[in-house]
């Protein structure tokens, strides 16, 4: 969710066939909100984590889901929420699945990725929706302000 900007429901619905690890760059092809198809590119860190997971993922010919429960069934939204809650409690931080998605957008803005590209990566129909994710990014505003101050 953090490095791909995925919604929790999108993570839950991922299937093995959605992975394109042999392509460069590697990617996911998924159906997002309102059944909109989009490509999500995997960073080297995410690709490594997915490959490591696939090495230990049990073979399940009748379950096409990428992420599985201990009973080898699709990992649902509620299960993902519970696992994230457990990890955040262990780390002593307050974190929601949707905050991971916001952080994804903010990281891209700080890297000067164009907002239209962020819109596509996040699967937003309207650019105004993407702007809501990044409008409160004071670090970017500060950077832009000082960049402008150095110009005559």
Catalytic residue numbers, as ranges: 7, 33, 98, 101, 124, 133
Q: What is the pTM of this model?
A: 0.83
Instruction: Provide the pLDDT for residue 141.
Output: 65
Closest among 46, 52, 49, 8 to 30, alpha carbons compared: 8
Correct CATH for 1-79 of 3.90.228.20, 2.60.40.10, 1.10.10.1100, 1.10.443.10: 1.10.443.10
Instruction: Provide the pLDDT for residue 137.
Output: 59
Delimit the domains of the chain by residue range.
1-79, 86-144
Over the chain (152 residues), the average pLDDT of each successive run of 10 is 93 95 94 86 95 94 91 94 95 91 88 90 89 68 66 52
DSSP assignment of the chain, as one string? -TTT---HHHHHH-BGGGEETTSSS-EEEEE-GGG-EEEEEPPHHHHHHHHHHHHHSPP-TT--BSSB-TTSSBPPHHHHHHHHHHHHHHHT----HHHHHHHHHHHHHHTT--HHHHHHHHT-SSHHHHHHHHTT-HHHHHHHHHHHHT--
């Amino acid at each position: 969710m953090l490095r791909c900007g995925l919604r929790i429901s999108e993570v839950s619905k991922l299937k093995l066939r959605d992975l394109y690890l042999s392509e460069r760059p590697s990617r996911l092809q998924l159906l997002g909100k309102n059944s909109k198809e989009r490509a999500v590119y995997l960073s080297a860190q995410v690709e490594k984590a997915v490959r490591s997971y696939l090495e230990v993922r049990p073979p399940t010919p009748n379950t096409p889901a990428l992420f599985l429960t201990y009973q080898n069934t699709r990992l649902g939204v509620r299960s993902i929420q519970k696992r994230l809650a457990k990890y955040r409690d262990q780390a002593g931080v307050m974190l929601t699945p949707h905050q991971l998605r916001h952080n994804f957008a903010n990281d891209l803005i700080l890297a000067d990725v164009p907002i239209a590209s962020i819109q596509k990566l996040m699967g937003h129909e309207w650019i105004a929706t993407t702007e809501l994710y990044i409008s409160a990014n004071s670090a970017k505003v500060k950077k832009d302000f000082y960049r402008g101050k150095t110009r005559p």
